[in-house]
Amino acid sequence: MLDLLRGAGPEGLGRAELATRAGLTPQAVSKITARLGGDGLIEEAGRAASTGGKPRTLLRLVPEARHAVGAHLDRDELRVVRVDLAGHVVAESRGPLDFALGPDAVLEAVVEAVERVRGPVAPPLLGVGVAAPGPLDHRSGVMGRVTGFPEWQGFRMRELLEGRLGVPVLVDKDTNAGVAAEGSGRSGGCGPGTSVYLHVGTGLGAGLWLGGGIYRGARSAAGEFGHQVISLDGPPCPCGARGCAEVLCLGAVARGDLAEAARILGVGAANLVALLDVDRVLLGGRAVAAAPGVFLSGVREVLVERAAVPAAMPVVALARVGVAEGAAELALGPTFGRRAG
């Protein structure tokens, strides 16, 4: 119900429209909207004419009623945002981060940044979503063996943050957060289709939107896109293999050869598209943001070359929402009836 009102914007929807779109009876909608109104989450937006001539009351979401926080822990940068129920950013903090300092130091930096954007006077906070490098266990919020930082393995990120912040915390991979807001349709993005989000930052990974939600796999390990081997005799990767897409792509970025980086990303994307047959390939991350045209054209070119038939060619586009906003979307999800996965 809240998701429908969120999508309707400030003009709102009538109860009859809500009943039709939600597949519920008018009586059920009346009970639900009364409860949501009592919680201050929705309010009347005005009146509009109906086919029967009797004015109908329009209801709208109250974005400022609740907030959520999203944190993106990159290996060298921390960005934290506070968003309202409509997903609009109302406060932001960005600063350097050094994963090499270890889990305890990073945890302190996250707590300080969250408290900074939370502010002394703000609407109730629904929770905090944390997007971190994988691998990690989404269900327990425990970190895995982050490539290049083995000391993170077993760190209880969610438990420790909940203890410090006093609100529910969700921990997920940065790529899953990257696809979360796109998949929810909040930004006019994926909606019900199938999509992959490819993130090129200090690492290389993928978020998968399949079957109406984030696909994490049986052990939260899906989407380790960067460690597919695409060159058997390629350079060694910190993960222990050789010729991984990540070491090749990021190496090209470091050399300033963005066209080659885009080509490598396209090869990996083509492998994924051939396996999953998705509708959309979304690109994001700092490297992509620095040269969006190069990456869009490079990935599209490889996908066109590799497409078995023209109909198998997915849409290739830039992600519309940042990872920190996606992390906040994870925290908002339960309020809007979306499964956490």
**Per-residue tokens: 53:** 């001539």
Mean model confidence pLDDT for the chain:
89
- 67-73 vs 315-318, strand pairing mode: unpaired
Map tokens 């990159």 to a residue. 74
Residues 329 and 308 in one domain: no
Distance CA(22)–CA(37), nearest Å, equals 18
Domain end point (choices 61, 76, 96): 61
Widest distance between CA atoms in the chain = 74
Burial label for 182, CB within 10 Å (0-12, 13-18, 19+), is: buried
Residue type, 55: P
Confidence of residue 51 (pLDDT cuts 50, 70, 90): low
Instruction: Read off the pLDDT of residues 243-255 as tens digits, 9 standing for 90 and up.
Output: 999 999 999 999 9
Confidence of residue 191 (pLDDT cuts 50, 70, 90): low
Name the least confident of 43-52, 57-66, 88-97: 43-52
| pLDDT score of 47 | 84
Distance CA(200)–CA(197), nearest Å, equals 10
Mean pLDDT of 280-307: 94
Distance CA(135)–CA(132), nearest Å, equals 9
Identify which of 57, 62, 99 has the alpha carbon closest to the alpha carbon of residue 78. 99
Residues 301 and 221 in one domain: yes
| pLDDT score of 324 | 95
Is 341 within the bounds of a domain? no
Identify which of 219, 207, 73 has the alpha carbon closest to the alpha carbon of residue 136. 219
Name the least confident of 121-130, 143-152, 307-316: 307-316
| pLDDT score of 145 | 85
Identify which of 9, 21, 67 has the alpha carbon closest to the alpha carbon of residue 40. 67
Residues 227 and 272 in one domain: yes
Residues 56 and 96 in one domain: no
- Percent of the chain past pLDDT 90, that is, above it, reads 63
| pLDDT score of 184 | 59
Distance CA(273)–CA(66), nearest Å, equals 38
| pLDDT score of 190 | 47
Contact 82, 89 (CB under 8 A): yes
Instruction: For residue 112, give the CATH number of its domain.
Output: 3.30.420.40
Contact 205, 173 (CB under 8 A): yes
Instruction: Read off the pLDDT of residues 69-119 as tens digits, 9 standing for 90 and up.
Output: 999 998 899 999 999 999 999 999 999 999 989 999 999 999 999 999 998
- Percent of the chain past pLDDT 70, that is, above it, reads 94
Residues 195 and 315 in one domain: yes
Q: Which domain holds residue 272?
A: 190-319
Q: Who contacts 35 (Cβ-Cβ below 8 Å, separation ≥6)?
A: none
**Per-residue tokens: 71:** 């944190």
Distance CA(125)–CA(35), nearest Å, equals 19
How many domains are there within the chain?
Answer: 3
Residues 198 and 303 in one domain: yes
CA dihedral sign of residues 271, 276, 280, 285: negative
Most confident of 44-53, 223-232, 242-251: 242-251
Confidence of residue 146 (pLDDT cuts 50, 70, 90): confident
Residues 218 and 269 in one domain: yes
Identify which of 291, 251, 329 has the alpha carbon closest to the alpha carbon of residue 88. 329
Residues listed for the chain: 341
Burial label for 279, CB within 10 Å (0-12, 13-18, 19+), is: middle
Is 144 within the bounds of a domain? yes
Task: Please tell me what DSSP assigns to residue 223.
Answer: T
Confidence of residue 131 (pLDDT cuts 50, 70, 90): very high
Is 22 within the bounds of a domain? yes
Name the least confident of 10-24, 67-81, 105-119, 190-204: 190-204
Query: Is it the case that residue 227 has pLDDT exceeding 70?
Result: yes
Name the least confident of 182-186, 208-212, 224-228, 241-245: 182-186
